[in-house]
Amino acid sequence: MSEQRIVRPTPISGFPEWLPQIRSVEQRWLDHIRAGFERYGFASVETPSVEALDVLMAKGETSQEVYTLHRLQADAGDDSDARLGLHFDLTVPFARYVAQHFNELVFPFKRYQVQRVWRGERPQEGRFREFTQCDIDVINVDQVPLHFDAELPRIVHEVLSGLDIPAWTLNINNRKVLQGCYEGLGIGDPLAVIRAVDKLHKIGADGVRAILVEQVGLSDEQAGVCLDLSGIRGSDTSVLDQVAKLGVRSELLSEGLDELGFVLDSLSDLPAGSVVADLSIARGLDYYTGTVYEATFDDDPGYGSICAGGRYENLAGQFIRRSLPGVGISIGLTRIFAKLVAEGRIDAGRLCPTDVLVAVPGDARRADALRTAALLRERGFNTEVYHQAAKIGKQIQYASRKGIPFVWFPPFEDGGPHEVKDLATGEQTEADPASWTRA
């Protein structure tokens, strides 16, 4: 055995892994998020980790990010797996799911989905190749009420407010406002402007202006209004007045402003500044058609979005000849969590879930220890029995090193008293396993 070749394991870049005391915090976060989604009636869905490549590529956008699967020792000529890829988000699988099971679902369908996704990024510091996303979407036949556009930020606000994370802001915009304004300015290719404005935080106003004038072909004046629009930001409906002052008119712009105003109004009871209309938010993806969301950390907006989403007119259109609009938002759990772990901002959780360690004074008393433990477990305490006869000091030390708060001592002889030691205070008292509760 000792002559065996050793394969020394090393972390794989982009695939995070946590020690138990960090994992226990992640698990608590996941439970909290799930409970938050269920509190609003969203149902759990999971999809396979893989999709057919033509499903993943139906949008044709993110081709180089897909990991494809291959059997290590496939038989010659067997390409049955060659057309499978790991999903790179949860939106495409959800669209496929709704189309595939269309006749078996009740609409409007509100689902949450918490799963790992994979992106075939080049290994690089801070880039995840495997990470967990927490998505909620509402999808309906033909029409999705605007109330949901306001409900989703409320849920995300409620969920993230219950986690100990640095201050963050949920920015909201509406693509109809952008597109309507550009159309009102007589611009022929509004999507080109959206893509340019989407780069504002990366290349600055002058960079965007250069693209708009030199590449998209806008006049200086048109470009100026586009940039003025993207500079508007505020947490109440006064932003609508600021847009009106630009003097641009179009039906689509009015519609977008009505929608944006409705969403801001609906969220006006949230703490000031937690939801902000930011007219520079565009979201690059072509499929958003109305409300768009993007949340960033206040102290590190350059880190990128920690939640994102929006309204899409017909996401499942590639998979079924029905109109299935929806609105959704995704929390980038790993993006948030891994950053805080790396910065030492996560307080380590418990090393193990055990509440009580039952000590075993000697093998003759083991049966009694097991009975005591069974009773404590029935009463809801996570309980271990020490795994061998050993000195009591050693057993207490094990509990202490594992962060187990209580050590239980069954009677040393039949009929004697049970005792329990609170390791935090050092206090040891008589106790009855049938009625004991944590102080």
Rounded Cα distance, 289 and 291, in Å: 7
180 three-state secondary structure: helix
Q: 68-87: which residues touch its own copies (CB under 8 A)?
A: 68-74, 78, 80-81, 84-86
Q: Which is nearer to its own copies, 184 or 349 (CB)?
A: 349
* Residue type, position 378, single letter: E
Helix H, strand E, coil C: the string for 127-166 is: CCCEEEEEEEEEECCCCCCCHHHHHHHHHHHHHHHCCCCC
Does residue 439 touch its own copies according to CB under 8 A? no
Rounded Cα distance, 196 and 187, in Å: 13
Q: 232-291: which residues touch its own copies (CB under 8 A)?
A: none
Q: 287-316: which residues touch its own copies (CB under 8 A)?
A: 314
Q: Which of residues 163, 402, 422, 423 is near its own copies by CB under 8 A? A: 402
Nearest-5° Cα angle at 170, 281 to 42:
110
Q: Which is nearest to 221 in space by CA: 186, 254, 255? A: 186
Q: Which is nearer to its own copies, 2 or 437 (CB)?
A: 2
Q: Which of residues 148, 297, 337, 436 is near its own copies by CB under 8 A? A: 148
Work out how close the CB of 106 gets to its own copies at its nearest, in angstroms, rounded to a whole number: 5
Q: 12-71: which residues touch its own copies (CB under 8 A)?
A: 12, 15-20, 23-24, 27, 38-55, 58, 63-71
Q: Which of residues 111, 209, 283, 335 is near its own copies by CB under 8 A? A: 111
Q: Which is nearest to 256 in space by CA: 292, 221, 213, 284? A: 292
Q: Which is nearer to its own copies, 128 or 293 (CB)?
A: 128
Rounded Cα distance, 113 and 93, in Å: 10
Work out how close the CB of 315 gets to its own copies at its nearest, in angstroms, rounded to a whole number: 11
Q: Which is nearer to its own copies, 199 or 371 (CB)?
A: 371
Does residue 406 touch its own copies according to CB under 8 A? no
Q: Which is nearer to its own copies, 68 or 254 (CB)?
A: 68
Work out how close the CB of 353 gets to its own copies at its nearest, in angstroms, rounded to a whole number: 4
Does residue 405 touch its own copies according to CB under 8 A? no
Task: Report CA 247 to chain centroid distance, whole Å.
Answer: 39
Work out how close the CB of 232 gets to its own copies at its nearest, in angstroms, rounded to a whole number: 27
Binding residues for L-histidine: 89-91, 119, 133, 137, 283, 287-288
DSSP string, 353-413: --SEEEP-SSGGGHHHHHHHHHHHHHTT--EEE-SS---HHHHHHHHHHHT--EEEE--SS
What would the x/- binding string for its own copies be over residues 165 to 204, using CB under 8 A?
A: ----------------------------------------
Total residues binding its own copies (CB under 8 A): 103
Binding residues: 89-91, 119, 133, 137, 283, 287-288
Q: Which is nearer to its own copies, 216 or 336 (CB)?
A: 336
Task: Report CA 259 to chain centroid distance, whole Å.
Answer: 26
Q: Which is nearer to its own copies, 227 or 375 (CB)?
A: 375
* Residue type, position 166, single letter: P
Rounded Cα distance, 335 and 130, in Å: 10
342-349: long-range contacts at Cβ-Cβ below 8 A with a sequence spacing of 24 or more?
345/166, 346/22, 346/25, 347/25, 347/164, 348/21, 348/22, 348/25, 349/21, 349/22, 349/23, 349/24, 349/25, 349/28
Work out how close the CB of 242 gets to its own copies at its nearest, in angstroms, rounded to a whole number: 26
Backbone dihedral region for residue 380 (phi beyond 0: left; psi -120 to 50: alpha; all else: beta):
left
Work out how close the CB of 4 gets to its own copies at its nearest, in angstroms, rounded to a whole number: 6
Is residue 337 a contact partner of residue 135, using CB atoms and an 8 Å limit?
A: no
Q: 339-398: which residues touch its own copies (CB under 8 A)?
A: 350-354, 357, 366, 377, 382-385, 387-388, 398
Rounded Cα distance, 342 and 303, in Å: 13
Rounded Cα distance, 426 and 396, in Å: 11
What would the x/- binding string for its own copies be over residues 128 to 147, using CB under 8 A?
A: --x-------x------x-x
Q: Which is nearer to its own copies, 246 or 285 (CB)?
A: 285
**Span from 2-10, 201-209, 211-219, 249-257 in contact with its own copies (CB under 8 A):** 2-10
Q: What is the DSSP letter of 63?
A: G
Q: Which is nearer to its own copies, 195 or 350 (CB)?
A: 350
Does residue 103 touch its own copies according to CB under 8 A? no
